[in-house]
Amino acid sequence: MQLDKLGCRVRDIVSGGSLAVVTDEHVEKLYLQRCRDTLEEAGFAVHSFVIPPGEGSKDGQTYLELVNFLAEIPLTRADAVVALGGGVVGDLAGFAAATYLRGIKVIQVPTTLLAAVDSSIGGKTAINLKAGKNLAGAFHQPALICCDAELLRTLPEDVFLDGMAEVIKYGVIADAQLFQQLTDPQETRVRLAEVIERCASIKMRFVEEDEHDTGIRQMLNFGHTIGHAIEKASGYQISHGKAVAKGMARIAEIAARCGWCSRNTEKEIRAVLETYGFDLDISYSNETLYEIMKTDKKRKGRFIDIVVPEEIGRCRLQRLTTEELGEIL
Ligand SMILES: NC(=O)c1ccc[n+]([C@@H]2O[C@H](COP(=O)([O-])OP(=O)(O)OC[C@H]3O[C@@H](n4cnc5c(N)ncnc54)[C@H](O)[C@@H]3O)[C@@H](O)[C@H]2O)c1
């Protein structure tokens, strides 16, 4: 859906007269005016809240400033928050909307590839605490997602690549045809809108079946258990997408070694990641990764469920004890 159509769609679902658009300084310069224009044309009073770009803004202080801003406008329960940006803006604005007045509507307008295929869908919202990422949050489904692939044209290559790791993940876990299409990066660029739509529909399907992440939704964590450990070991210097790419390659190697998938499947996963230029080397010891993985927030007592590929387009959960996890690493 084009950004310029946003106003009409929001009018259909928001009965109040005021909207708060949350964005970051990069996106502000590129798209805030267009976003304001379409919303104002639809008759809304638009208030904007602009945060510095980057993960640092997904913190308690910015969250409190934002909810205070909403209260000063003031937004009522009939109004809504619009998250115009990447995953940082989406998570922060979503969490503010989930908690302000015990919950008002949020409209997600993703502007990064990661937000378009992942963070804007599924209703997970959060801020980071000193003890770790995403530790305070809420499930709060967006009232509307406006995904305009044209907005992604201005993305820096590095940020685009972070989203590509998630796109490749969808191919591996659920869509062999998409995976084949991804082997040609030029084609991916040309057909980006279609690629996003396929990924979004896979995520929606998993979320609809398991909104609160206790079953099939965990399949979306392919590459993430090891990826999160790599991210953390690097002190978050390695971005989420680059860490997940390393995690996917590593778990594919483990799966092939344990006989859970063929060597050919492992090779295909590695090859597509390399085609996009992901560096798949891991410079941390298995002991370091293991110590971090043992504290993974998705651990269930002494068990941890790892997503393993069976073939391209199909994955399953493999339950391991933490000791077994140490051994296979
Ligand atoms: N809620 C979920 O389900 C979920 C899922 C995955 C990740 N996340 C969260 O998402 C966050 C990462 O999101 P991200 O990768 O989108 O990063 P981000 O929001 O930090 O955006 C990355 C950079 O791209 C810039 N940018 C955004 N859109 C742009 C555009 N169209 N043109 C040019 N520059 C643009 C931003 O200003 C920023 O500098 C993390 O906090 C992560 O925890 C949430």
Residue 244, by phi and psi: left (phi above 0), alpha (psi -120 to 50) or beta?
alpha
Q: 154 falls in which pLDDT band (50, 70, 90)?
A: very high
Ligand 1 contacts CB of residue 118 (under 6 A): yes
* pLDDT on residue 151: 98
* pLDDT on residue 298: 75
Alpha carbons 137 and 33: distance in angstroms, whole number: 29
* pLDDT on residue 211: 78
Q: By alpha-carbon position, which residue is closest to atom 25 of ligand 1? A: 26
Cα angle 142-299-201, degrees, rounded to a multiple of 5: 30
AA letter at 6? L
Whether pLDDT at 218 is above 80: yes
- Please give the average per-residue pLDDT across 49-75, as a whole number: 98
Distance 36 CA to ligand 1 centre (A): 21
Q: Is 212 exposed, middle or buried (0-12, 13-18, 19+ CB in 10 A)?
A: exposed
- Please give the average per-residue pLDDT across 9-29, as a whole number: 98
Q: Is-above-0.75 flag for pTM?
A: yes
Domains of the chain by start residue, with CATH: 3-152 (3.40.50.1970), 157-328 (1.20.1090.10)
Ligand 1 contacts CB of residue 111 (under 6 A): yes
Q: By alpha-carbon position, which residue is closest to atom 4 of ligand 1? A: 119
